[in-house]
Structure 1
Amino acid sequence: MFTFTHRNPEMRLDKKRTALVLADIQNEFLAETGSYYPMIADSLKAHKVLDHLEELMKCAQEHGYYVIHSPHYYYPTDRQWVAAGGAIADYLANLPAGFVGRKDPVDLDGFNGSGADYPERYKKYLMDGKTANTSPHKGLSCHSNDLIKQLRMRHVEQAIVAGPVGNLCLENHVRDLIEAGFEIAVVRDAIAGGRNEEGDAYQAAMVNYRFMCNAIWTTEETVNRMKAAT
């Protein structure tokens, strides 16, 4: 018999200080042509992640919520890195040279339709002139980009979090945000995870979220709460 050590406190949204925070809404992860997509394809389909992400973005846009997206980009100069970076470094070294790749920080040549680009269905949300697409995160967390500053400058204190790589980039973003003092609600069916010899990464992420976060909601619950918040 399992003994549950705690229950998550009820998180009540304050619309003026809440943002929808997304990570890795990019072709590399969400399009069938993406190099990472095969690792999470089954989980994306099982949880209907692509549809649920759009539901969240649509609701946020229609109801005036801040939306902050943390993309993952690498430039050719990042291939100069020589410091050991753990398993993620080995992973990157064995991926095609263009993994979430851009030619240069100020050059969009070849960006359109690439793995680093946004899926077409989401561009009307991510490129609406209101969504803040942050500087890129270079590893797993938002420690290397300006996500937290973007939230702080809007007086945001609550984040509704979703994205395709639930156990890596998204979980590390969540950890950084919690350490920075934010309340976090994870949308459980708007995330995915792969598998390896140790087990199911989606389930591992959910176990950790249950211990760490202020709330874990379905997309339906999240949308209803966003609509009802004042």
Structure 2
Amino acid sequence: MTTTLITGANKGLGFETARRLLADGHTVYLGSRDAGRGRAAAESLGARFVQLDVNDDASVEAAAKSVAADGGLDVLVNNAGIELYSADGAVIGAAELTADVMRDVLETNVVGLVRVTHAFLPLLARSAAPVVVNVSSGLALASEVADPASSRYHYPGVAYPASKAAVNMITIQYAKAFPGMRINAVEPGHTATDLNRHAGRQTVEEGAEVIVRMASIGRDGPTGGCFTSGGPLTW
């Protein structure tokens, strides 16, 4: 039986990914910073709840110990992420960007991902078929954001795309460092979630498809790539 941990899974893409993987026979740990919401979400699905704040060393270490005590881990889905908005609800663009905003986004989306991955690497190393899925974004693709013909060209935010570009590089370097693991990034597409104030064009069911697929690959699956529901992307 495959055991999977999903961060930021009490709602949105993480919740839908948990639902789908449970249906596929995975044992799923639903990670959530908010214990009340996380526990309620886990109970509604029949998942195991683990309190996990990606920004807190003690929380992550406690989660790793809890999962280890229950038997270990095969798949880690780094899904937790944030985008910040101004008081009027607009994405914070370059003119309004402050060091504090950039720091907060990078702390969750990049540093938090590394914190969680580092804590769970020893458990993954014991698995017969370890997999890591890092949820990235098409906004991380410089070729798209710089192309006036692309819809992503018009996205004004700085911190979120920069954080996901870092996630892509982290994915490549971890995949090279751990060739026995399958470590990939995914681009779910513009999915309606709290992250984008439900402005996305896709449903969470559509967005979660690639996360579920890449969380389910075997020992011979790809590694060090970025994937959409339609296949691999060029970095």
Q: Judge same fold: TM > 0.5, yes or no.
A: no
TM-score band, normalised by shorter chain: 0.3 to 0.5
Greater fraction of residues in helix? 2
TM-score, length of structure 1 as denominator length: 0.34
Taking structure 2 as the reference length, the TM-score comes to: 0.33
